[in-house]
Structure 1
Amino acid sequence: MKVLIISDTHGSLLFWNKIKDVANKVDEIFHLGDILYHGPRNPLPNGYNPKELAEELKKYNIHYIRGNCDADVDLKVLGVQEMPKQIFEFFGDYSIFMVHGEIVENDNVNLVDIAKKHKANVLLHGHTHIPKIEEKDGVIIANPGSLSLPKNNNVPTYMILNFSTKLKISIYTLDNDEVISKVI
């Protein structure tokens, strides 16, 4: 089973169109938030067209997590009833907690503690626009980066969870270059 994890598209139709081939080859898609609006702290991304992006996203069965830039009107244009701020999923033996990630701005928040509180092997978050996969105290903390507004001189990235006998978490550039990988 393959799962596509994306985050922080911020209304860019251009970058969604660049990842559609990947989206068509996976079993499930999760979007970790900040879907349509660029937000007051961000510039307009290339290809900013939230109305058309919403129409494209409606063609897929995407599980959404509400980000700090997502509003009630976004749910309406995306055609979803609700958008939780966090999701807990089981994939075989793996428990994964997903959240947008604005909580990482608070220095007092320990993501490992949050994962352990939810009995999760993996915690996935977006928000920072910086791709990472790291292991801390037996928990994998990972961020797919941003499709449209990467930070820290990064390029647009996305994540694939590949479940076979073990879980392989990989982050790729839009050119399909694997940049980070972790097997657990």
Structure 2
Amino acid sequence: MKLMFISDIHGSAHWLSRALDKVHEEQADQIVMLGDFLYHGPRNPLPDGYNPGQAAEMLNKYKEKIVAVRGNCDAEVDQMLIEFPIMADYTMILHEGRRIYATHGHGYSMEHLPPLMENDVFIQGHTHIPVADRKEGVYLLNPGSIALPKENYPHSYGILFGDEFIVKDFDGGTVKRISFGS
């Protein structure tokens, strides 16, 4: 099963449209959304194509394929527009025998991990900075942001297929990559 990870849309219909095109191109079986769906937040500029209503409509067309968690910019009013659950602080995914803890990153984070076992995967958004690393036996991942990347990284998303996680930019380049050892 191929999972696509999207984070930090912040209401950008433009970048969400490009990400949804990548869902088809990548032939992703499931989309894991790591929060910050509609609102840009008080610390962020307006992203390209800022249109939260349109972004909600676009997401709703994929509701059967989406697993989602709440970001720090998401609120109950956003859930009124989005037709799949977005208010969970985290979700656990079992992928090919590996446990994945997915969250936005404003509660538990790479600096403050939940209880995990060796070889588990922790994935977050929130920082808008891609990560593919292993620390103290736990795989640490972040797909970056599709709409508002930081630290001169490109707009990006993540793909998990088999035993490899790849952060990709929208031109097909690899930003970060890690393989999970057996």
TM-score by length of 1: 0.90
Q: Does 1:170 align with 2:166?
A: yes
Q: Does 1:8 align with 2:8?
A: yes
Q: Where does structure 1 lack aligned partners over 5 or more consecutive residues? A: none
Deviation for aligned residue 1:26:
0.6
Query: In the alignment, which residue of structure 2 is the partner of 1:46?
Result: 48
Query: In the alignment, which residue of structure 2 is the partner of 1:155?
Result: 154
Aligned runs of 1:2-151 on 2, under 5 Å? Answer: 2-24=2-24, 25-60=27-62, 61-81=65-85, 83-103=87-107, 109-111=111-113, 114=114, 117-119=115-117, 121-151=120-150
1:97–1:176 CA distance, 2 compared to 1 (3 A): same
Amino acid aligned to 2:38: L
Deviation for aligned residue 1:104:
6.5
Q: Which stretches of structure 1, 4 residues or more, deviate above 4 A after TM superposition?
A: none
Deviation for aligned residue 1:72:
0.4
Q: Tell me the distance in 2 between the aligned counterparts of 1:82 and 1:18.
A: 21
Could you tell me which of 163, 176, 179 is aligned with 1:180?
A: 176
Deviation for aligned residue 1:82:
5.3
Q: Where does structure 2 lack aligned partners over 5 or more consecutive residues? A: none
TM-score by length of 2: 0.91
CA distances 1:131-175 after superposition (whole Å, capped 9, x unpaired)? 011110111101000000000011100000002xxx100000011
Identity %: 40
CA distances 1:18-73 after superposition (whole Å, capped 9, x unpaired)? 12222122100011000100011111001000100100100103111000000001
RMSD (Å) for aligned C-alpha atoms: 1.6
1:135–1:82 CA distance, 2 compared to 1 (3 A): closer
Aligned residues: 175
